[in-house]
Structure 1
Amino acid sequence: MKTALLTAIACLFSIVIYSQTYITNVTITDVENQKMIPNQTVVISKDIISDIQSSKKIKIPENATIIDGTGKYLAPGLTDAHIHFSQNGGLYTRPDAIDLRKFRPYEDEIKISKINMEGKLRRYLKNGITTVFDVGSTLYFLEKSKDFEDKDFAPTIYMTGPLSTTYKPEIYKNFADDAPFSLTQTIEDGIKSVQDQLPYQPDFIKIWYIVGADGLSIEESARKNLPIVKAIIDEAHKNNLKVAVHATQRITAQLALENGADFLVHSVDDEILKPDFVQLMKKNKVVICPTLIVHGGYVNTFGQNLDFSSYELKTTEPHQLGTLLDLKHLSDTLTVNRYRAMGNSKKMLAGLKVADSISRANLKLLSDAGVTIATGTDAGNIGTLHVSSYLAELKAMQASGLSNWQILVASTINGAKVLNKEKEFGSVAVGKKANLILLDASPIDDLENLTKIDKVINKGRVFNPEDLLKDTPEDLAQRQLNGYNFRNIDAFLEPYAEDVEVYNFPDELQYKGKDAMRNSYAQMFANTPNLHCELVNRIVQGKMVIDQELVQAGNRVIEAIAMYHIENEKIQKVYFIK
């Protein structure tokens, strides 16, 4: 028996040795002490950081996997502390905000969100986000998320189920396990909304503290509904679950804090916070996720004033981004014109400006006071797209006055603090999860360097980012269409091969190469008013994508068919039939 035990120990020891990965000569981004530590070797055993030493001192065994980190920076994997898997970020994802169900039934949008969950997860990880918090989902996704717990390609998911709320939009009634809201009109309803989630093992509970819909003033409504809010918080705490609260008014946020809320998932945007509020947050160790850009996503979509960078056009799921421009051609012109007028109204724009300025001032105030800030986007809402909105959120935090170190701390270890898991992940330290990103340049020098990812390490496994999610032919065709409609010449050309060939069907070569293509389209983008291409129909056959289009150019509308032939994950040939 003693011999068997010794044999088992020896086998275990050999497994540890053989599964080790060494990242050598790397500069560690130490978010806990806010400093860079050069010339380090980090050892990963299975999914844990098992050792960190000076590269001069450490001895590497012959059978180890070695990653040369010379000239590179090792940072903790990023956390998006506020997303929604049940929402896709496109125009049709929130029918309570704009009802376009006659163009796309909400049931279809639900199907898309379910089908694309793995794609979202792969896209997040590809871009260095190794942890996500879904702060308002459905019972379906709460159950489905368990399927990805042991998948190396999936970020770690923390999730709540339907939002407990005293206000539920009519549109979301009768959706059973696909309902994102649980209506709580009594204390008993509130308690039941928590108990209904327990069999699904949520990581926390979320309250949608919406006030004023009952016709009362903001404060009257908040105080009227407070007993229900308190009952939800108490029931969640009784079951050892923290509580996140959507509270954008100072009074709702303060009442939530006074009654035990653990996590505020938005900024207060109606008034500058006073010292007693700040001290209450510090005393209760409450984390706040500012979500600075989500409001603007709605306003800019409705007003048709969206503008995405080349990075965003390349990084996001292209089909949902494409829907955001559908307001330019939908046949319901009364609805379209009404929303466009609203999005461009002086009242709406002035309100957005005031709310943004207050939110950013409050973020700086809270950060300076030592309140824990966690980065989150509210991705999934209209105009706030999954993954690509993360960098925009970081830049908004930067514009609020936070330093790059403060933002990186908020985006890593502070996300772990939401659920008191900072001893498990969130920094490059011995004993923590090996959820890391290897960067080509320092994120402290420039936040955009967070997009320059050489390797992603998730649950101990090392990935080349491009291997996590491959472009389909349809993705490439849609990306170039998005670049076209945003008149972004670099984004438009990105999906094309360097030696692309452009033909008039069937075989008349117009030109060859990206340079010629750039000359042709850059001039058109600059000189053509009202340029917009509506996709009427699309056929995908193997590596060929055939698009039927209506192209508006000035006062003309042209019918066209474009055929895209894909080779080696780039558009190699294009044939136009006019």
Structure 2
Amino acid sequence: MKLLKRFFKIVLGIVAMVAIAVIIVLAMDTLGTNYLKVGNRAVSNNSTYLITNANIIPMHRDTVLVNKMVYIQDGIIKKISENLDIKDIEVVDAKGKYLLPGLIDMHVHVWDRYELGLYLSNGVTAVRNVWGTPMHLRIKSEVNSDKIISPHFFTTGPKLTGPEFIGDDNLNLTHPKEAAEKVVSYQQRGYDFIKTYYGLDKELFDAVIEQAAISKIDIVAHPSQKVPFSYHFNPQIKSIEHAEEIVQQPLQFNLDTVQLRPIIDSISNAKHSSFCPTITVFNNIYQMMLNDSILDSESLSYMNPLIKKADSKNQFDRWHNAKQEDSGVVDRIKNQHDFHLRIIAQLHKTGVPIICGTDAGIGVTIPGFSIHKELAFYKEAGLSNYEVLKTATVNAAQTHSIMNQLGSIETGKVANLLLLDSNPLLELSTLENPSSVFVKGRKINRNTLQKFKEMARKRKNLMASGLRYLEYLLIEK
């Protein structure tokens, strides 16, 4: 009996030490992002400003409002006029600069709080995270309660799949009742959207769609190959993800513009859905096959250490090996990327709302930085600069009702703004280095934005990220 008591005491001691170690690791990682706390020296708590001499690109219409004043009160745009006489307020002189709504990335995978600063430093003032975990609910709570400076943060729940798509990243559904219960649970726990994925057959998909309508929660759909592509045109589905899925599913990898035409027309006729191409993440397959040292590149230092060690490495190995086995795969990937540009051109021509999404946070697709590459591809596809900017502003904000207060510079909208050195209607590259970023009216200057980049580049939080992923597995799987 004494031996048994001693054994349990040892076990409890080990458990206690492990728990303490876990708490210390997570606490240290949280302390590492204290620079994002609202009210510290880097991030002012002030959210009331008068911006003067601004050239405004409002984005709800194609124009430049020259030499205007913008009054921001408690994070909301209150007045826009040629002359405003407001006393006792901090003034930002925007002479010679351009004011644009903050960018929105509609398809990201966030792995830590450091990435929030990366998005802000690249002018992204709202993100839609599309693979939710408990960590994301905590981030959302901190953002909504104004504890940290961050892009507006919206998140789906875990990805819903059918029974055979087994993997850490999937929540495998086996019965319609279970599917409905997950929708209810995710909505009640605070997830903003439902994410559907590969492997959902008609019975499971119907259960998700029906319950989502009852629960009044939007669906973000990565198309399932178990149902016709047209099945994703249900009104409850607010956006369809990935241009590559058009190639892989209805076209069956046949890069044929004649066969593409009726597919584009069917998407256009759906009217209630936006399309999120995410062509940067696919193009990065091509980049990995061209650059054997991409994992050691400077840009990859901005990736979460756990993702870089696991997913980035696995994806690189997969495509490097594919190239070794068949050199023709390089041209096939490049040809498919070029076809994605045609898809975007045709979607745009038929009036389908295109929303900017990068799939940042996986492979070698870097949070924040990748939005500039995605927008450049839309430009290459034939969109004008104004049309390109719409994909990351008004189009994105109109996708979900809970985002409607974003995306344009109008009275009553949230003051998520970029102050730029030159006119993005003439040169998109000016977006890469904003002079200032406003989030909920809080101003972040260029030096602070640069600090956000440096803090993300230097982080060493592989273990903390692993523990948070373990939490996801224990709670959600």
TM-score by length of 2: 0.75
| Residue 462 (structure 1) aligns with | 443
Unmatched tracts of structure 1, length 5 or more: 1-17, 86-112, 173-179, 211-221, 479-578
* AA of the residue aligned to 2:322: M
Paired residue secondary structure (1:146): helix
Shift of the alpha carbon at 1:470? 2.8
Within the candidate set 266, 285, 310, 2:272 is matched to 285
- Pair 1:341 & 2:321 matched: yes
**Cα distance in 1 for residues equivalent to 2:455 and 2:147:** 26
**Cα distance in 1 for residues equivalent to 2:205 and 2:178:** 10
Q: Taking structure 1 as reference, are residues 447 and 251 closer, same or farther at Cα in structure 2, changes over 3 Å only?
A: farther
Contact 2:58 2:64 (8 Å CA) reproduced: yes
| Residue 413 (structure 1) aligns with | 394
Paired residue secondary structure (2:242): coil
Within the candidate set 78, 101, 107, 1:76 is matched to 101
**Cα distance in 2 for residues equivalent to 1:315 and 1:359:** 28
- Pair 1:388 & 2:369 matched: yes
**Cα distance in 1 for residues equivalent to 2:74 and 2:121:** 20
Q: Taking structure 1 as reference, are residues 337 and 262 closer, same or farther at Cα in structure 2, changes over 3 Å only?
A: closer
**Cα distance in 2 for residues equivalent to 1:197 and 1:463:** 33
Q: How does 1:107-506 map to 2 (within 5 A)?
A: 113=111, 117-149=112-144, 150-151=146-147, 153-166=149-162, 169-172=165-168, 180-210=169-199, 225-247=201-223, 252-258=228-234, 260-267=236-243, 268-270=246-248, 271=251, 272=257, 273-275=260-262, 277-301=264-288, 304-305=291-292, 313=299, 316-317=302-303, 339-343=319-323, 345-421=326-402, 423-468=404-449, 470=451
* AA of the residue aligned to 1:361: R
Shift of the alpha carbon at 1:198? 2.6
Within the candidate set 66, 69, 81, 1:41 is matched to 69
Shift of the alpha carbon at 1:475? 6.8
Structure having the larger proportion of residues in helix: 2
**Cα distance in 1 for residues equivalent to 2:394 and 2:453:** 35
* AA of the residue aligned to 1:195: V
Contact 1:303 1:339 (8 Å CA) reproduced: no
Q: Taking structure 1 as reference, are residues 314 and 247 closer, same or farther at Cα in structure 2, changes over 3 Å only?
A: closer
Contact 2:417 2:439 (8 Å CA) reproduced: yes
* AA of the residue aligned to 1:232: V
* AA of the residue aligned to 2:122: N
* AA of the residue aligned to 1:407: V
**Cα distance in 1 for residues equivalent to 2:269 and 2:318:** 44
Contact 1:126 1:466 (8 Å CA) reproduced: no
Q: Taking structure 1 as reference, are residues 477 and 30 closer, same or farther at Cα in structure 2, changes over 3 Å only?
A: closer
**Cα distance in 1 for residues equivalent to 2:81 and 2:366:** 39
Shift of the alpha carbon at 1:38? 0.8
Contact 1:152 1:459 (8 Å CA) reproduced: no
TM-score by length of 1: 0.63
Shift of the alpha carbon at 1:337? 7.2
**Cα distance in 1 for residues equivalent to 2:160 and 2:392:** 27
Shift of the alpha carbon at 1:372? 1.0
Shift of the alpha carbon at 1:350? 3.8
Shift of the alpha carbon at 1:429? 0.7
**Cα distance in 2 for residues equivalent to 1:408 and 1:127:** 14
Shift of the alpha carbon at 1:341? 2.9
**Cα distance in 2 for residues equivalent to 1:186 and 1:437:** 47
| Residue 104 (structure 1) aligns with | none
Paired residue secondary structure (1:70): coil
Shift of the alpha carbon at 1:239? 0.3
| Residue 22 (structure 1) aligns with | 50
Q: How many pairs are equivalent?
A: 402
Contact 1:291 1:393 (8 Å CA) reproduced: yes
* AA of the residue aligned to 2:96: G
Shift of the alpha carbon at 1:313? 3.2
Percent identity for Structure 1 against Structure 2: 26
Shift of the alpha carbon at 1:280? 4.7
| Residue 58 (structure 1) aligns with | 84
Contact 2:288 2:319 (8 Å CA) reproduced: no
**Cα distance in 2 for residues equivalent to 1:254 and 1:317:** 36
Paired residue secondary structure (2:57): strand
| TM-align CA RMSD | 3.4
* AA of the residue aligned to 2:191: P
**Cα distance in 1 for residues equivalent to 2:454 and 2:55:** 38
Contact 1:24 1:40 (8 Å CA) reproduced: yes
Q: Structure 1, residues 359-379: CA drift from partner, whole Å, max 9, x if none?
A: 221111111111111101011
Structure having the larger proportion of residues in strand: 1
Structure number with larger C-alpha Rg: 1
Unmatched tracts of structure 2, length 5 or more: 1-45, 252-256, 460-477
